Structure 1
């Protein structure tokens, strides 16, 4: 729950690891961009023996390989369904060993022969490549780019899979598989090594999986595990594509894992990790397209192995609502969660417990040391709490903030309630102002709202004004899980009151979050913003460690042009929109804020309460909130009222149809799938529509109950966005926005093109365009009907069943010449 990006989920505080003896001497200075990578006492490229299989991909740093497909030789059958897809990655310094284990299903009643196809990223050089089939090593062959291109084109044409065009120009591994039993399974295992890209202390590992605009999916699980072993201490570990769990054994070893049943395999897996000998590491990712200000992400992470004296003590005040409405399961689970927090207090911590109903009662007049005796006294106090009376929220917060403070000790208030104020001061706006006035020493107030009677705007306004965050739970069991998980993340403060200063050329702006959060052991901060100028810069990070102020200095570079990391643009826009919508709902709507939200939603394809995309138009739509007829409609039979955004009723088959596993063909089995993308867009839009209905209101029904909870959770997800949210009707590809329309994808702004070139999907002209302009492969892989902007006023139109079959080379060159 803290604003910091967690290193991984978990319901208990992470143990403090004592610092291990360094395995090698390392340079203290930051590494230069473009260097060969950090060097410790052992070689940065260790020789790795893999039994009888070794593969070097030195020419394509950081790229592993794509998902393999098993294609029956019978042309009437499509690729075989994927039962499971498991990937194990072992990374040692800059070398990665990747093992892929796939299980396919033969859904026919006959024995099949098939060809296993494994696309290799463009530019890969292969010394040896083989695979195991059902435990037996089977020889295959690596086809160089010309032979591979012909096979790619044949496969794309046969199974109509535009996703594979991204691998045109690369090599291909191919092997015969026979026999595959009727109604049986076929297991294929591959193992190879690759070299990771490295720049300025940041490693990048990519496992490409995209295979189709329809996106293949697994019948069962997709599991990926990456084990990292580094001679230089590990700092940040981050995936912008998948929500990975991070487990750190010590400063030099960590594991990142992801697992999902019935998983969509249409998204590449991307993992970044950073190394640094510093106590607190800072690394930089950038993206800067041509003729535009750049985007950046700063990753700030403390070292994992810390001495006891390197972790700050904290002052924690638990404020618990014991009004009559908390009776039963809610109070029982709240007390269990509170006992968990008390049992995990550190020896240097101070604490207090305050309960409130019609009145306020504290465990102690002053904070107590977290001794065994005092903790037991607190547990006895909590055990005796009963649910009676009203809800004196103002008096409870006043008591929490009136406690004596100790210099250099961060004060964290954990405030839990299930209702609105009914005793004492009941004016919610006055309470918000009073709490801000009382909090002169800048305590952090984290709020937990429970049940249907809380008002999200009221509680979020309290936490936002006091450097905290809010969390909501429907019932006692969910509250217990969330409160315990939250405490595990803030158990060990490392630095408080962080300040970031940048000396040099870049001129940073629009950085989110606006106020840099505190830094906790086991967590990491992700700061995302924009920069105007390129060049070298010095980043100075300062903060309090107890009564002392500590600073760190880092040399970084903001490039003039950076084509990688285009996901940063969408993350930045999502965070900014979340911030702006927060301003609207907490302080009221005005035209300036509304227009900026519309502009960002329009430019980056973000669902907001104001913007959606019509099937026939290329303009944002102002949506009227507070629609009738939503609450009681069964979600699986919902029919949009007339004022709903038109994209909820598209006619291209997106709707609420369930996608299938693998490809739609007789050789593929249908698999249950996650909620359709359009349904996810609808739920997001519905949650955010509460913003406009409740703007500036901290009481009343508009932001209460389930509507308020969903709005708050959606906005928090936007403000802290660390992974792209892919909508059903927009795609942000290579820094360019595409909108679903008429059964295809149209790039934003292409509708008004002065000149167009229409070509037929899978025609000679189609492949000629890809050969001449490989940079278009990521865009055209969206589907069979794609419209792409070319220059300022031209558009390339790919149609599934119309358009030119051939285009002379000189005409193509003239069309693409700006």
Structure 2
């Protein structure tokens, strides 16, 4: 193989990233350029793990080496990996872009020569969020540390170079856990960013809660936004928000289309006039609300402070018609009360004291807490709401989502949500957008991101409107003359719409006419509106967005196949779904879980027999996170072929003692935080704290308990042996 792997070089190629964004209406097109430079005297393979928005349609790769430009090709994942590996072994420079999660991608560059620079550029588009009269662009810039549960495999089957070993619950953990920069190394991975905004209306205020930006306005409908600084570290999401200059000027409808070959693709955005019950005299529903708050180690510091402030605000919005419950989780979980309680003033005051006393520590066993929340809703469903009204059942999940087993939680929500609704609140500078958005979709709710303390009041106020008003349900698009049967619309079914949210549908028209109807139900009332989609704006990228949305839905179907099919049928269904995902991705040209982009230079590079080592580019710790609250991640970058020192479930950082291969690491976590004990006792005397899952058990405590059981058993045995002799001596006097 030319000797790669013979040398173990810990040097990490330097990296710079330049990002250009062009926005037209609802669609953003990104060009992200990574510059890899090898400062060593050794041949190196550079591996960089980075985030993208969770619905990114990645479709282009360009590699530049020594003035030569090589364009990437979309291939099935295994074939792309084979081509890359063959080029690496032959000494040719090559680049491979793979999706590890919808929001985590990896770029590998093989045969980076001493002192050499390689430029790798990818392009993608996404649909922007438009809610509550405001547009939002959210571009993640760093992959935060993830909690990796489960039993570690003795061998890293996924072949990744991250700090975590693969486990039975996260089989690709090694590919989603890039090493963190050393504590004393300062911030790295500098980013330059420019956004060219063409809104289609007069733009009002432009804000970025997490970054200082410079805004120039060529005219009233356009703006150019740049990061203030030439080398801003990639340590938090970049968020940009803008709204029309006049409050009533927000777009109420829009249609964007693209012709791709013989097919016409469309993106319809429509703000229903009854969204959220506007203009209708509908009573405020009585609610059972379960708040689930993350107190794991990654929330330590700023994130937990923001989460507690948000929860206290939510408690203040409850009325006497509502009931509530609070569950906190880390390595284990606990209830403030075992069942929902009426939101009277005394209960609210106790809850606030409980929340203010929460501390962050331990792992992120989120699925167990959500399971308890769903079970609690079932147990309280039989209680009638006041005045005969329907009692809504809602779960509000407040977390940074820093876990690696997202699919487990999403399957759980989809299978058990029933008539309830789940809303997610993403906390911190770099929350897991994939988990937050997909969990809200699976729970038929909506999501909210809070990046900075100054945003809490505004963002939570938007969420309260959605929680307190009825949703528009059973949303459907219909075409006359049977057009519904020919148009391929995604998502399928269309989601419920909450206050301030538009209907957004992506469609492959297949010759259907321009007339259609949009309908739905709100508070038991039927609503319908006719729409004509002639004209509209031509928008390159709509086909890619349609393909990405279809793939997202197919992946969700694959994840939940076992919920409604027998095991054999579910396996067959997953095979068929995978085949359809590959076909869609190859037809449209998109990176997916099963397709990748690969580029191979034609010129030879590394001489035969010259060794090459692989190195991960270390990433920054997300802003606001406290290293002291994280466990198990080595701070120094690891070479690809070196064994990971931490094979078990771990949260991150804080170097720990090595754990034998295949043995799960024990997460030290006091299930009753010191500051939490008095509030727990005051809320419900005697309420037990739920047991931690196996991956978070305090092994030393259980060993001690087991020893006590052995001693007790021996004592009982000894007493039992003496007992019969004593009874024989006592005769008819009987037992004591």
Q: TM exceeds 0.5?
A: no
TM-score (norm 1): 0.37
Relative contact order, higher structure (CA 8 A, sep 6+): 2
